[in-house]
Structure 1
């Protein structure tokens, strides 16, 4: 029997939560307070894991920027607890429903 997708996702989330960087506890608390973020007990661990991953990416980018590589800066903001996919869904604001003869039909998200 193969494990279900839900089982695999839960195991992935559980392993991510177990690896949280405790040295970031104060920074996480400050970020949550600044952006008025409240989570259920079940959600907080994986939101924290997403936030840490995004923070590490921003820190790496800043190191590269200091060396003159990228031409733009990055900083943590209110979307720091969102995955790239969640951010695109929230900020994009439309879905392409179908394409007909080169024209797009667009529906705005509510």
Structure 2
């Protein structure tokens, strides 16, 4: 899978060896605490992200609904919703960076932990 280097029209052999491919599922991985710690961190981060951002959108909708005595100019607005999403991503990536690599997507963490 390595690439040969072309120098002056000739290919030179690579000066390193590619490692063998890692197995897709490693039974030894299931006995390590780092996997479970990363899974817990990703679960909490994903849960908090969805909870805060969905509540921001629902709150904005209910605060601006004039049929329910809401103010048409009230609520956090579209910019507030964007700040809620961006702020939550920043905080959660910052908090989980040392545990699982700083991803909010658990699929990325599972791939990096098992690979």
TM-score where L is the length of structure 2:
0.29
Hey, which of these two has a bigger chunk of strand by percent? Answer: 1
**Going by fraction, where is helix more abundant, 1 or 2?**
2
Larger radius of gyration: 2
> Which protein has greater RCO, CA pairs closer than 8 Å, 6+ apart?
2
